[in-house]
Amino acid sequence: MKLHAIQTGCVRIKPAQVEGRGRGLRRRLSVMTDRDWTRWLPTYAWIIDHPEGVIVVDTGQGVHLLESSRSLHPYHRWQVAFRLEREEEIGPQLRALGVGRFDIKRVVLTHLHVDHDGGLAHFPNTEILVSPGELRAARGWLGRLRGYLPNRWPTWFDPKPLDLAPEERGPFSASKRLTAAGDVIAVATPGHTPNHISVVVEDQATTYFLAGDSSYDQRRMLAGRIDGVSPDDDVAKATLDAINQFARGRKMVYLPTHDPESAARLASCTYVPLSPR
């Protein structure tokens, strides 16, 4: 088994989104009033080159996001900016890696935010798995109000429901095997969105944790600092604690979508440090 990081361009957001300020509604409003910007952060998608077939986790950004500054939605217009070239979309990068469309077994989405589903158009004939709750939240005009872009989904997009079983996996309350071997597992990591999932990859002695936006980087996961957009403070904090606890029992490489260190940690197989609690 081999994992690859695919960088699909960069994104810039508000520091108050990366790390929430205050609690509850005040925390979420502070994203809107923050006048600063982060530096450009990478947006990764992940390729699991598995003996049972390639699994793609998230599809990254698409060039349509470059129009977001003209959006009528205040978040897209004012709080986020994207940078990418067409060749940085996931499709061309998979071809460059020598991964053909028939090699891909399935695509799994951690959630449906625009920088995770932006490359869907490259997978017209592939099974795509999405949490049913996430799909409900993202659909229709209410989804658009919440900042999703269902109008940008390919017309054929009809994902297969990724129903997690109420089967505990370490500290995670629900999980689902994604391979017959049981070495790739979706786990419930509610917080950033209520139905957000992460993907655990067990490869011999090493565990890889494809965290999506569970946290924006490893440091904030370890510190238990939730982001500015999670709907529920306590749920988001409990997930960060669960990931932290999970990491302490094993040799784990933690790979959030936007952590500037993710690709380097994957390349050097750098484990989560044991943090005092």
* Binding residues vs Zn ion (CB under 5 A): 113, 213
State in angstroms the smallest separation of the CB of 128 from Zn ion: 17
Q: How far is the CB of 108 from Zn ion (least distance, A)?
A: 15
Scored b (16 or more CB within 10 A) or e, 217-235 reads bbebbbebbbbbbbeebeb
Measured distance CA(52)–CA(183) in Å, rounded: 11
In whole angstroms, give the CA distance from residue 90 to residue 100. 12
Taking alpha carbons only, the member of 233, 195, 237 closest to residue 212 is 195
Nearer to Zn ion by Cβ, of 113 and 122: the residue is 113
How many C-beta atoms surround the C-beta of residue 121 within 10 A? 18
CA-closest candidate to residue 239, choices 207, 262, 213, 272 = 213
> Three-state DSSP class for 107?
strand
Q: Which residue's CB comes closest to Zn ion?
A: 113
Q: What is the SS3 assignment for 28?
A: helix
**Cα distance between residue 213 and residue 254, in whole Å:** 12
For Zn ion, give the closer residue by CB, 213 or 259.
Answer: 213
Shortest distance (Å) from residue 187 CB to Zn ion: 17
Q: Give the nearer residue to Zn ion in terms of CB position, either 179 or 257.
A: 257
The DSSP code for 272 is: P
CA-nearest of 231, 262, 181 to 3 is 262
**Closer to Zn ion at the Cβ: 213 or 217?**
213
Instruction: Give min distance, CB of 276 to Zn ion, in A.
Output: 29
Nearer Cβ to Zn ion (4/111): 111
Q: Tell me the closest approach of the beta carbon of residue 6 to Zn ion, in angstroms.
A: 17
Least distance between Zn ion and beta carbon 200 (Å): 19
Count the helices and strands in the chain (H runs, E runs). Answer: 9, 12
Nearer to Zn ion, 88 or 213 (CB): 213
